[in-house]
Structure 1
Amino acid sequence: MPTPTSAASTVAALDLRDVSLGYGDFTVLSGIDLRVAPGQVVAIMGSSGSGKTTLLRAATGQLKPRNGAVRVFGEDVAAQSLSGLQALRQRMGVLFQQGALFTDLDVFENVAFPLREHKSLPEAELIARVLDKLDAVGLRAAAHLRVSEISGGMARRVALARAVVLEPELILYDEPFAGLDPISLGITARLIRHLSDRLGCASVLITHDIQESFAIADHVYLVGQGELKASGTPADLSRSQDPYVRQFLDGAADGPVAFHYPETPAFAAWRRRHGVADKETQA
């Protein structure tokens, strides 16, 4: 695992400085500082609706920041032309929450797809690389199977092999543990750590799974209530007595996190258009 000194001396794979993000009139997150060095596994955690996936969209250039800068490999994502953004994205791998496999292709061709799209490799070299990545996730002998013939856990591992087949410098995982049984969950977590170490790439987990993320992460960022609530090593957060951190880690019903979604200007406008009184007036 990289030391703080070595991490600070390299260009970050992902670097957010005083970033604010939102949709329409609603600001999801503000004042976010976040850094991911090559070789690090970083977990971005928070409750549902806290803005985790919004951060992923900013990292891939799908959402421009309202304030601050999002830099990938030292380049300001918002300042890129379309071709420049495509060049940055080719240095990234993304594991989508649902896997997003092509159901009309077999396992081999699903993993081979990025190579066929972005590389001009001799067929023998392409086959060797795809089988190498399938071997890394334990599915070399499943190369011939259709997607309909494999389990959900296996499908997630195929998607992981596809995400790393171009050997990216930054891999973004959107809820990689969602819906997995305990065995598949543990296997997937170990694979993420193994592949990050093997490729020397930066890995970012967008997740709310505490146990598995803490077992493999070098650093954790906890977002909630529109801001960065805490950051540090898993051990740092485990020792924290901050009320928000404790509520999240302990799964407590009572604490700073409110049950009701906050009212936004957009909702207030919708309420007025439909003649709905606010709760205080109704009371």
Structure 2
Amino acid sequence: MTVSDATPPSDSILRFTGVSLGYGDFTVLRDISLDVRRGQVVAMMGGSGSGKTTLLRGATGQIRAQAGVIEVFGNDLARTSESQLRSLRQRMGVLFQQGALFTDLNVFENVAFPLREHTRLPEAEILQRVLDKLDAVGLRAAAHLGISEISGGMARRVALARAIVLEPELILYDEPFAGLDPISMGITAQLIRDLTDRLHCASVLITHDVQESFSIADMVCIVGQGKMLAAGTPADLSSSDNAYIQQFIQGKPDGPIAFHYPATPAFDAWLDQSARRK
């Protein structure tokens, strides 16, 4: 199979069709269908342990679908080789929850790292591109600083600049608002929206944050109870009469979202084995 360089005419960037995802014999999510298009910000939301990060891993090919089809840039991930998958990943940007910056490199070199790894651009062009991306996140004048010299919110923006320096067609954000103060959250949310519009890419947010996500998302998907519970515009979900959705959106302590992580066959087997050892 040859990896397609062109996105399908529909502008579909990431598509899940009847997808089930999990680990070993344990299925986390079943029958997930989703279509993320160029220019869209899509927020994937749900309670802790609902499967949001599992969806991200499926989108990047870190785990394979147990059932159904995951397509990225028109390519079925189940039919791609490791080298083809690496090629597809070069068209993606990922903002990890902890930023994953290199502490022994300064701000400039952290953002330049993907360019040095994946391109043969001359130093003058690397300088221009990195400063352009740092300017986009408001940190051009911080290029010379060490990672230990910047705040947590600034570090998140440096990680964002690094995620977009190759101008990806798909950007995946893993909890982009975690640990940020209210001002930094608002800045980060607006950056995600502005960069999506500027790059005309697709952005997928894995997040718990309702307010910031609803303010920038074109579509919100809520997962829980092992399935996709709802998908629609922020206005659609805000007016939903689904008890799970309303509990999540409003942060109510009581409702269908369980406090206890559900027992699984893997847990039962572990418990049985542990009991036999005693």
List per-residue Cα deviations over 1:141-177 (Å, max 9, x = no partner): 0000000000000000000000000000000000000
**Equivalent residue for 2:129?**
129
SS at match of 1:203: strand
1:72-116, Cα deviation, whole Å (9 max, x unpaired)? 011001210111101100000000000000000000000000000
User: Which residue type is aligned with residue 248 of structure 2?
Assistant: F
2:57 maps to what in 1?
A: 57
Q: How does 1:43-192 map to 2 (within 5 A)?
A: 43-192=43-192
Mean CA deviation greater in 90-99 or 266-275: 266-275
Residue deviations 1:163-198, cap 9 Å, x none?
000000000000000000011110000000000000
Q: CA deviation at 1:251?
A: 1.1
Q: Give SS of 2:162's match.
A: helix
The aligned counterpart of 1:23 is: 23
Rounded to whole Å, the distance in 2 between the matches of 1:199 and 1:68 is: 30
CA positional deviation for 1:265: 0.4
1:232 aligns with 2:248: no
Aligned to 1:249: 249
Provide the rounded CA distance (Å) in 1 between the counterparts of 2:59 and 2:107. 28
Instruction: Determine the C-alpha separation between the residues in 2 that align with 1:231 and 1:92.
Output: 23
Aligned partners of 1:132 and 1:258: how far apart in 2? 46
How far 1:9 moved relative to its partner? 5.9
On the 8 A contact 1:11/1:74 being kept in 2, the answer is no
Per the TM alignment, residue 10 of structure 1 is displaced from its structure 2 partner at its CA by 1.7
2:257 pairs with 1:261:
no
Partner SS for 2:275: coil
- Rounded Cα–Cα distance in structure 1 between residues aligned with 2:57 and 2:24: 15
Separation of aligned partners in 1, 2:160 and 2:259: 34
Q: Distance between the aligned counterparts of 1:83 and 1:11, measured in 2?
A: 24
Unaligned 5+ residue runs, structure 1? 1-7, 277-283
Deviates more, 1:233-242 or 1:253-262: 253-262
Whole-Å separation in 2 of the counterparts to 1:274 and 1:170: 44
Q: Please tell me the residue identity of whatever aligns with 1:47.
A: G
Number of residues of Structure 1 aligned to a counterpart in Structure 2? 269
| Offset of residue 63 of structure 1 | 0.3
Q: What is the identity, as a one-letter code, of the residue corresponding to 2:14? A: L
CA displacement 1:207-240 (0-9 Å, x = unmatched): 0100000000000000001000011000000000
The CA distance in 1 between the partners of 2:261 and 2:250, in whole Å, is 21
Aligned mates of 1:122, 1:20 — CA distance in 2: 44
Identity of aligned residues (%): 71
For 1:88 and 1:47, how far apart are their aligned partners in 2? Answer: 30
Cα distance in 1 for residues equivalent to 2:165 and 2:23: 33
Shift of 1:274: 2.4
Detail structure 1 runs of 4+ shifted over 6 Å in the superposition: none
Note the 1:3-42 alignment, pairs <5 A: 10-42=10-42
Return the alpha-carbon distance in structure 2 between the equivalents of residues 269 and 123 of structure 1. 56
- Where does residue 198 of structure 1 map in the other structure? 198
Q: Give ranges in structure 2 of 5+ residues lacking alignment.
A: 1-7
Using structure 1 for the length normalisation, give the TM-score: 0.93
Between the aligned partners of 1:273 and 1:117, the Cα distance in structure 2 is: 46
Residue 230 of structure 1 aligns to a residue whose secondary structure is strand
* Cα distance in 1, alignment partners of residues 84 and 11 from structure 2: 18
How far residue 42 of structure 1 moved from its aligned partner, in angstroms, is 0.3
CA–CA separation in structure 1 for the residues paired with 2:138 and 2:81:
39
Distance 1:121 1:22 in 2: 40
1 CA distance for matches of 2:73 and 2:175? Answer: 23
Q: CA RMSD in A?
A: 1.1
